[in-house]
Amino acid sequence: MAGERTLLDNPTALVPDEVVESWKRLTASMAKLRRLSQQVEKATRRWDLRLLRQRVPEVAVTAAEVEAAAHSAEAALATWNTIDALSAVSGYAEDIARAAAQLRLPLQGEFPDYEAFPLKVTVDLLNEQVTISRRKTTTLEPTALMREVQARHQALHRSSFNARRFMHALVGAHDLLKEAGRAKGMDVSLLAIYDMLTLRSGTGDYTKAEFAFDIYRLRRESDMLYDGRQLSFLNGRKGNIPVPSAKGGADLLGILRLVEVAGSD
């Protein structure tokens, strides 16, 4: 994005000055080569011989500059990696927090483990990558990284949600578990329901955080009435899942209770 400031403009101690400078030299020479390439391409289409006689030699010189800058950047990277800068992690963590605040991203947690509900974000400097829930990214620059998290966070919160379909899945799992004797009266463990939903879908890609997010949206967007029964999410003695509350904070929910409602559809 034009005008966007990144780590190249304001490096922290996480990345040594010599490495950042090698990046700057390389990107500057590559930008010059791109400009020359565009001019040469245009000149060849127009058979502009005078411009070609001027620019082709410059291309050769600039290409050599790019090669030299690339070797310099390669050498700088070969003698350094992020794990060498653990003493600078606090500054890097501050940059992440600052970038999240500037983007108004509801990021919680402490380095290296964060959450932007329902996304889990783990920074792994040893392997020079970040995991955003199940997806990995090699973007480490704080602002660029938080923009990736923000994009996924917004996509999730703006995605369509079928409350009836989710209630159908919950009620189906509840009834199967109750038939199997895994219920206390009308109450069935949410974790047991989650396990059944992931088992029936044949995938482990549906995380507990996403399950909690669906419960959050169901409570927010639905009357929670399904097939003549009222769905109630309640606190359990153990195995609770934190689900954001409409009043702020989070409710610890561990069981699903279904209650027959007279006169409902």
Q: Quick: pLDDT tens for 48-97.
A: 999 999 999 999 999 999 999 999 999 998 888 776 666 678 888 999 99
5-48 pLDDT tens trace: 444 444 456 788 889 999 999 999 999 999 999 999 999 999 99
Count other Cβ atoms within 10 Å, centred on residue 60: 9
pLDDT exceeds cutoff 70 at 2 = no
Give the 3-state secondary structure of residue 162: coil
Strands 241-244 and 250-253: antiparallel
pLDDT score for 70: 97
Question: Poorest-confidence range of 171-185, 195-209, 228-242?
Answer: 195-209
Beta carbons of 12 and 95 less than 8 angstroms apart: yes
Tokens 């409409």 -> residue: 246
Contacts of 227 (CB under 8 A, 6+ apart): 171, 265
pLDDT class for 202, splitting at 50, 70, 90? low
At 154, list the tokens: 């917004």
Count other Cβ atoms within 10 Å, centred on residue 75: 13
Higher pLDDT, 121 or 203: 121
Q: E-assigned strands of 33-173?
A: 108-110, 113-116, 119-124, 129-132, 135-137
pLDDT, the chain, mean: 88
Domain range list for the chain:
17-79, 84-158, 163-260
Beta carbons of 120 and 133 less than 8 angstroms apart: yes
At 75, list the tokens: 């050498």
